[in-house]
Structure 1
Amino acid sequence: MKTLYRRTVVVAVMLALSISLSWTYASAAGKELKKFNVGYLASTGHTMYFIAKEKGYFEQEGLDVQLFLFTNSGEGLNAISAGKLDAGSFGTAPPLVFITKGVDVTIFGGQMSEGHGIVAKPEKVDQFRDLKNYAGKTIATVRLSTGDVVFRGGLHHAGVDWKKNVTIKELDSPGAVLEAIKKGSVDAGILWPPFLTLAEQQGLKVARRSGDVQPNHTCCRQSALTSRLKTNEADYIKFMRALIKAHAFYKTNQDETVDIASKYVKIDKAILKKDLYSGNLYISPDPEKAGVVSFWQNMNDAGYISSKEKIESHINTEIFRKALDQLIKEYPNEKDYKALKASFKA
């Protein structure tokens, strides 16, 4: 029955996406807005989307952005590759894996970095602080999640053969991973915001954070079909302008940011605020090309993928650069724009 329900929901979402791709509508001011379909996960890491939508930044840029919720990153990348989404933010691993399978996807912006962790019951947590102790253990994960790749890479570098000596259970959602840890059907599990903080609230403990295993690693990246980026570059520049505006808002309006995020991530606001501003999760629209290249190399080193593809050809930094330069010209005194420019590397 669950499978039938899931299929029904997916079909309904795809139908809605197909219909909305061909629509445009006029705003209250009479300006025609172009439909732009975007996929997201119910994660605090996707808060720039929520801010841009609720504060009207997408509309300011002439876009009618429709946000579509997905359960996991694999589903989201399938929708992108099928042409149902104009863009989406589904980790770093999923677009890279899809590229190895021949899907022509390009990363053109950022969303969040770090933020994942491995969680266990209090009586087991100490043994999972050292990656060498993972041999012989059962770990739950959501395949293609960023944390999944980071921890497999960490095990590889620690000398643990995760393919032979660790039992990895791939589940459909972070909620399923959390339940598996609580029930004791696995020894530990890999989670991301806000589920990491939810796990702590429910009595579980974080053994290691992903940033400790692979410092400054990228997570959700803005991804799209390469053909669409080439054909509709102006729309993607507008999209990134809206996200850059949202980032500036996020940096200076904590309480309202939490209120906005709570409309999309249905958990206690105190958890949201901790996730957004505790320093374990980093939000930025910068595509972070070097970070993506490093992530690609780590995936190959760990045996998660095997590809000689030059991943640089699937990273577009020009869209972000053009959007940021335009905004700096229009708002020369905006400190956040200047900070983004200072840290940006093409």
Structure 2
Amino acid sequence: MTLFNRRKALALMGGTVAASGLAAPALASNRKIKVGALRFTSHSGNFVAYERGYFAEAGLDVEFEFFQAAQPMAVAIASGDVDYAVTAVSGGLINLAEKGAIKVIGGALSEEAGIDGQKYLISDASYQAGITSLKDLDGKTYAVTQAGSSFHYMGSKMAAAEGIDLRFTPLQKVGAIIGAMKSGQVDVWSIVPHIAKPLAKAGAWHMVGNVSDYVPDYQVTTVFTSAKNAADERGMTESFLAGFSKGVDDYAAAMIDGTADQDAMIDLIHKYVYTDRERAKAAPSIVNGTMRINKGAALNIASIKDQLAWFQSEGLVDTDISIEQLVDPSYVDMIGA
């Protein structure tokens, strides 16, 4: 099956559907939905859409459910406990797609040239012991949340490029990884800049490389939903994407393009990110977390294909699963199709 871009796919599905794109009037009518999220700056598209009423304008009554890792979010989507979410592609997500439980319907966070992105970090204990570059990490421990997580993918791609072997250590939660890095229990990790930079500045670890150098144009996170919502709740799904996309536009204008008030955007994001800090202390980390979120929720399908191939090569997912089982290409534009 050939993947078409969104316009082609909608045209094939008939004029009624083709007329109901992201810019069209919302079809939802005060639908109550749950949206899964992490308390990261990179999830700000949803936060802005909620706070500025874009979800409400789209006819959606949104409630957030917060998670600490990607794979539990995928399970929550599959079970129907959560309707929509933004998260990284993981082995768990792909396996659920193969079972017909979930569909990727769009793209969110991306590594983009010229915009600061995720970092590879070496713990201070390892650094002081002489491990000062990624090439020095042969045989060392790399922290991941779970086997088959995006951290696993980023670590493996870097190791392959450097010609080294890593021992991947699953620690389940980002907080547990931070603690293990500080105490020197693991040697290396990769994470978004708003976590990497302040702790590097404090000396807890050392930034030694950029993920974009090893995984260019990486589609870090995707927008996904249940297969049922993708197939049977087209109006609600389009309404969600419409609201989300407006939130992303506002976020980009303020935090990346400099065409809107950044201070006001930081105030909004602070309601969800670094809420345990006063605004003045939270602001630098919120700014450091700024990365590109795709306009119109466009999906870099070339990156998703590469990720799927890696999961298959590692034996983390079935070799027979196809990109069509994972992605519904009819909602947004496909980059690199």
Q: How high is the TM-score relative to the length of structure 1?
A: 0.75
**Aligned 8 A contact 2:106 2:332 in 1:** yes
Q: In structure 1, what residue type is equivalent to 2:312? A: N
Match in the other structure for 1:83 = 80
CA distance in 2, matches of 1:304, 1:134: 23
Q: Does 1:211 align with 2:212?
A: yes
Deviates more, 1:231-240 or 1:145-154: 145-154
Cα deviation code 1:172-209 (max 9, x no counterpart): 21121111111111222233353223422431211222
In structure 2, relative to structure 1, the CA distance for the partners of 1:33 and 1:100 (3 Å cut) is closer
Please state how far the C-alpha of 1:95 moved relative to its aligned partner: 5.6
In structure 2, relative to structure 1, the CA distance for the partners of 1:303 and 1:201 (3 Å cut) is farther
Q: Does 1:137 align with 2:151?
A: no
Match in the other structure for 2:12 = none
Q: Does 1:67 align with 2:67?
A: no
Q: In structure 2, what residue type is equivalent to 1:240? A: L
Superposition map of 1:244-263 within 5 A: 244-253=245-254, 254-263=262-271
Superposition map of 1:67-216 within 5 A: 67-94=64-91, 96-99=93-96, 102-114=99-111, 115-122=117-124, 124-125=126-127, 127=131, 129-131=133-135, 133-143=136-146, 144-161=148-165, 166-203=166-203, 204-216=205-217
In structure 2, relative to structure 1, the CA distance for the partners of 1:198 and 1:172 (3 Å cut) is farther
Q: In structure 2, what residue type is equivalent to 1:283? A: I
Match in the other structure for 1:21 = none
The total of aligned residue pairs comes to 286
Residue 319 of structure 1 aligns to a residue whose secondary structure is: coil
**Aligned 8 A contact 2:91 2:311 in 1:** no
* Identity value in percent: 21
RMSD of equivalent CA atoms: 2.4
CA distance in 1, matches of 2:313, 2:69: 24
**Aligned 8 A contact 2:192 2:289 in 1:** no
Unaligned runs of 5+ in 1: 1-30, 322-342
Q: In structure 1, what residue type is equivalent to 2:293? A: I
Q: Does 1:316 align with 2:320?
A: no
Q: Does 1:265 align with 2:273?
A: yes
Of Structure 1 and Structure 2, which has the larger fraction of its residues in helix? 1
**Aligned 8 A contact 1:40 1:46 in 2:** yes
CA distance in 1, matches of 2:243, 2:63: 14
Superposition map of 1:289-304 within 5 A: 289-304=301-316
Unaligned runs of 5+ in 2: 1-27, 112-116, 255-261
CA distance in 2, matches of 1:305, 1:154: 20
**Aligned 8 A contact 1:44 1:193 in 2:** no
Please state how far the C-alpha of 1:146 moved relative to its aligned partner: 1.8
In structure 2, relative to structure 1, the CA distance for the partners of 1:124 and 1:101 (3 Å cut) is same
In structure 2, relative to structure 1, the CA distance for the partners of 1:178 and 1:272 (3 Å cut) is same
Residue 34 of structure 2 aligns to a residue whose secondary structure is: strand
CA distance in 2, matches of 1:255, 1:145: 34
Match in the other structure for 2:300 = 288
Aligned to 1:275, which of 268, 289, 307?
A: 289
**Aligned 8 A contact 1:62 1:238 in 2:** yes
Q: How high is the TM-score relative to the length of structure 2?
A: 0.77
Residue 32 of structure 2 aligns to a residue whose secondary structure is: strand
Please state how far the C-alpha of 1:94 moved relative to its aligned partner: 4.8
Residue 153 of structure 1 aligns to a residue whose secondary structure is: helix
CA distance in 2, matches of 1:98, 1:128: 37
Q: In structure 2, what residue type is equivalent to 1:271? A: S
**Aligned 8 A contact 1:147 1:192 in 2:** no
In structure 2, relative to structure 1, the CA distance for the partners of 1:172 and 1:104 (3 Å cut) is same
